[in-house]
A and B are shown apart, each in its own frame.
Chain A
Amino acid sequence: DGGITQSPKYLFRKEGQNVTLSCEQNLNHDAMYWYRQDPGQGLRLIYYSQIVNDFQKGDIAEGYSVSREKKESFPLTVTSAQKNPTAFYLCASSIERGGGYTFGSGTRLTVV
């Protein structure tokens, strides 16, 4: 079945560490996105990519980095520069302009 897969489901990070969240899709979607969701909050856009080898900052890109070397993959690195990384991270993809997103199941990141 086609879909979008995020891993791991739960991730723990020590202070000062970088961690990478995986997002893979087999929907042949051009665009991919990373969102952060805090309790009781809406979705905030971190980064997005409309095509391979190109990506743009969203509203809260500071402390995060991404790459888009393959159409199927859009990993997100949470760097030590992100001071408050504990959150639920959602990856999404879309096939067309003016259309909806397909979301992954999310990764819950906790700083320990």
Chain B
Amino acid sequence: GESVGLHLPTLSVQEGDNSIINCAYSNSASDYFIWYKQESGKGPQFIIDIRSNMDKRQGQRVTVLLNKTVKHLSLQIAATQPGDSAVYFCAEGGAGSYQLTFGKGTKLSVIP
């Protein structure tokens, strides 16, 4: 989702449940997508990435889904843990470009 003013979209989930965080990207020419996790006061950390020739990629407890038709990206976190509480944001990149374009982020809060 998109942020409004100073307020990030927030997703609250119960510990042990699965989380799904969504991201709409803007450039149909983008062919590289990446999810980052940012804990409070820290730099963003790489979670998982995917290229446009794939529609799904799995990591440890995380899955990224890419729907190029509707320009939508999602991050699924299985068995969400309190340590997963953070801001998650997606980024898109285009072939031949160094630069990424970042989404505003979604705050994930895990309820113990």
Contacts and interface: CB of A to CB of B under 8 A. Distances in A.
Interface of A: 6, 30-31, 33, 39-43, 45, 48, 50, 88, 90, 94, 96-106, 108
Nearest to B7: A40
Contacts, number: 65
B6 A41 contact: yes
A48 B98 contact: yes
B102 A43 contact: yes
Nearest to B33: A100
Interface in B1-21: 3, 5-8
Contacts of B102: 42-43
17 contacts: A6-B43, A30-B98, A40-B7, A41-B104, A42-B102, A43-B102, A45-B99, A48-B98, A48-B99, A90-B44, A98-B95, A98-B96, A99-B32, A103-B36, A103-B44, A103-B45, A106-B43
A17 B96 CA distance: 39
Contacts of B31: 98
A40 B89 contact: no
A105 B43 contact: yes
A103 B44 CA distance: 6
A42 B3 contact: yes
A40 B99 CA distance: 22
Contacts of B32: 98-100
B78 interface: no
